[in-house]
A and B are shown apart, each in its own frame.
Chain A
Amino acid sequence: MHRWMAVPEWQWKASFLLLPALAFTALPASARRIEKQFKVDGHPMVAIHSPNGTITVKAWTKSEVLVIAEIPSDRVDLGAVQNGDRVDIGTRLLTANVSPADVHADYQIDVPENSELQIHNDQGAVSVAYVLGDMNIETVAAGIDLQDVAGYLTVRTAAGSFSCLRCAGRIEAHAISGNLSFVDTRSTQIQASTITGNIVFSGQFLPEGQYNLKNYSGVIDLRYLPGDSFDLSATSLKGKVNNEAKLSRENRSLDSAPRGAETFFGTLNTAGRAHVELSSFDGTINIVKR
């Protein structure tokens, strides 16, 4: 007979009862869920400050802000206060000595679609969808995903990457080592810069739109459709410019360009031109057909 088979029956039963109890005691580390709801009118402003964790913001049709926080540690709590149409949401420390892991909190926030957002997140991720108000987002290492948003969008991140899918309005995005991506955007003005990251633009060129993409050492990909219309200036001070577009008035390495720089100036189609300026210090600029 095997040794385990010698365990008395009452011990088996006791262990079956204890296991779920033990599992339940372990839950608060991952399952403390806090909800708060705020009625707002007009043009709400929602500010979210979280040092660590994910922030997911979505628009809904109610005139309310709903905050659902999942906080593993009992040393921190959800801090959310309302002052008129302004709602401040953050992670509140309950004790003085809190480890970096303790401040982890994941937020899901539903807001009216015309809400203005201010988001600060050091590490984790920020995701915003369907919000049509202005927004200002700052992160250190957290990635930022915007989808179907509009307004005046300003984004600044050190190491995080930024992705903008079907965004509209005016966009300013600056990173240091993060990548920037603009896909199917309908923006009249985009200013994007990164030092070592890459930039991809595969959006619409609106009439009289301004698109300035600048990096130091990464790759800038500008993807266009044959029917797009824009004036292009692309210069890489010490790197390369690869151009597939059939530009009129095309010139390469013009006298006015900096010494040693590789430069393209020209126009693609003439109806309703947008203005595109691509500049890189020693990165590569690719102007390619979609």
Chain B
Amino acid sequence: MASMECKTFRDRLDSWIDGEKSADARAHLAECSACRSLAEDLTAIASAARITAESDPEPPAYLWNSIRARLDDEGIIRQPRLVRPECDAFIDQLDLWLEGARPAEAQSHVARCPDCQRWAEDFAAITIAARATDEYEPEPPAYLWNSIRAQLENEGIIRQPRLVRPQCDAFIDQLDLWLEGARPAEAQSHVAACPDCRLLAGDFAAITIAARATAEHEPEPPAYLWNSIRAQLESEGIIRQPRPSVIPAPAKPRRGWFGLPRTAMAGAFAAVLAVVGLFARGPLTQRINDYRWMQGTQTSTALLTAQLNTVEHATVASLRSDPLVEASLHKNLAIVDNYIALCEKSVRENPQSEMARDFLYDAYQQKADLLAQMNEQGD
């Protein structure tokens, strides 16, 4: 039997990967090492992709765009979307559309093309939801409050006034409202009379401000949040699922690159991206990692900052020393605080920088040491 040519085999490669192993294809592979190697590689990728697809059905839309754009840029894939040039042009301009730009051609295309109309609607809904998520986070969650308070109480940094004084107890119960700006007359008079509650309110107000400042610096929601938002929007029927209807449903699952199902292709892309990522860190990966590093740093420093602030209040209040020595200590405390602020800014700008984090931790260490030294002065 005459063996087929390489070109013919590669044209039918998707069938081979799907398991349709014809006799002439087998014969060709037996004698062509290049095609055999290619078939083995793609079969392995497809297999890995199917496993990945089973555990993670779909990457989020923006990830698709980012992956595709990057692979396009680097010439790794061909551009299948050239099937419909008008759709392609619209998708290229989707970012502008979502920002409110409405060129005449795009408007007329969206009016005619139901697929692009859905794309635009879905992405607009996701964008709105994501912005709303970003703005939401008025204050740290309840568990964080409880954890901070419990830790401070455990370590004796703050006293537990509510066990002793019912008025303090009532004030603490209303502390959330106080921190939101409510100032009932009884609370005001109690705070004026009670140093413990005044200190407590001051500390928690500082923590709230710090937490809000932190929340404002979050660059964007992480990937899992995107997935969660989309799933929630889809489950509530707020958005439709665009992808199956972008192209009329074929008899077989939609085929993409070398005829792989799209979910499998997602896995393949992920595998390729992982390899590519080893050599070049893409901006998307970097942003996600930045976010994760930032979260880790904030988690590890939030409690420390609160503790240092509390110790600072107590230490400064009890400092009894030569005025010159006190002045020197205050001046150096201001230097350390400035150092901490600049290091925090540096970490926010570059969360993955180990050196920036080292400087930040070092700054905290310096402050702790200085406070200890000041504490000795007060003894």
A: residues with CB less than 8 A from B are 51-52, 100, 103, 120, 122-123, 138, 140-141, 156, 158-159, 174, 176-177, 193, 195-196, 214, 216, 235, 237-238, 258-261, 279, 281
Partner pick for A122 among B321, B331, B343, B356, CB 8 A cutoff = B321
A283 to chain B, nearest CB (A): 11
Inter-chain CB contacts under 8 Å: number? 83
Task: State whether B322 touches A123 (Cβ < 8 A).
Answer: yes
Partner pick for B328 among A100, A158, A237, CB 8 A cutoff = A158
Q: Does B353 contact A (CB under 8 A)?
A: yes
Task: State whether A259 touches B353 (Cβ < 8 A).
Answer: yes
List, in ascending order, chain B residues with CB within 8 A of A237's CB.
346, 353, 355-356, 359
Task: State whether B369 touches A122 (Cβ < 8 A).
Answer: no
What separation, in Å, do the CA atoms of A174 and B336 have in the docked complex? 13
Given A158-B370, A261-B353, A281-B346, 11 more pairs with CB closer than 8 A: A103-B322, A122-B325, A140-B329, A141-B328, A159-B331, A176-B335, A176-B366, A195-B336, A259-B350, A279-B355, A281-B343
Q: Does B373 contact A (CB under 8 A)?
A: yes
Task: State whether A193 touches B362 (Cβ < 8 A).
Answer: yes
What separation, in Å, do the CA atoms of A156 and B328 have in the docked complex? 14
What separation, in Å, do the CA atoms of A196 and B325 have in the docked complex? 18
12 contacts between A and B (CB under 8 A): A51-B321, A140-B325, A140-B328, A156-B369, A159-B328, A174-B366, A176-B335, A193-B362, A195-B336, A195-B339, A261-B355, A281-B342
Q: Does B82 contact A (CB under 8 A)?
A: no
Task: State whether B339 touches A158 (Cβ < 8 A).
Answer: no
What separation, in Å, do the CA atoms of A96 and B35 have in the docked complex? 96
Chain B residue, CB-CB nearest to A238: B346
List, in ascending order, chain A residues with CB within 8 A of B322's CB.
51-52, 100, 103, 122-123
List, in ascending order, chain A residues with CB within 8 A of B373's CB.
138, 140, 156, 158
How many residues of chain B have a CB within 8 Å of chain A? 30
List, in ascending order, chain B residues with CB within 8 A of A195's CB.
335-336, 339, 363, 366
List, in ascending order, chain A residues with CB within 8 A of B342's CB.
281
List, in ascending order, chain B residues with CB within 8 A of A176's CB.
332, 335-336, 366, 370
Q: A122-B377, A158-B370, A258-B356 are in contact. Are A214 and B362 (CB under 8 A)?
A: yes
B312 to chain A, nearest CB (A): 15
What separation, in Å, do the CA atoms of A123 and B355 have in the docked complex? 34
List, in ascending order, chain A residues with CB within 8 A of B111's CB.
none
Partner pick for A100 among B324, B350, B376, CB 8 A cutoff = B324
B38 to chain A, nearest CB (A): 33
B378 to chain A, nearest CB (A): 13
Q: Considering residues B324, B366, B370, which has the most beta carbons from chain A within 10 angstroms of its beta carbon?
A: B366
- Binary CB contact string for chain B from 70 to 102 against chain A (1 if under 8 A, 0 otherwise): 000000000000000000000000000000000
A287 to chain B, nearest CB (A): 18
Q: Does B323 contact A (CB under 8 A)?
A: yes
What separation, in Å, do the CA atoms of A123 and B328 have in the docked complex? 10
CB proximity to A under 8 Å, residues B305-352 = 321-325, 328-329, 331-332, 335-336, 339, 342-343, 346, 350
A28 to chain B, nearest CB (A): 22
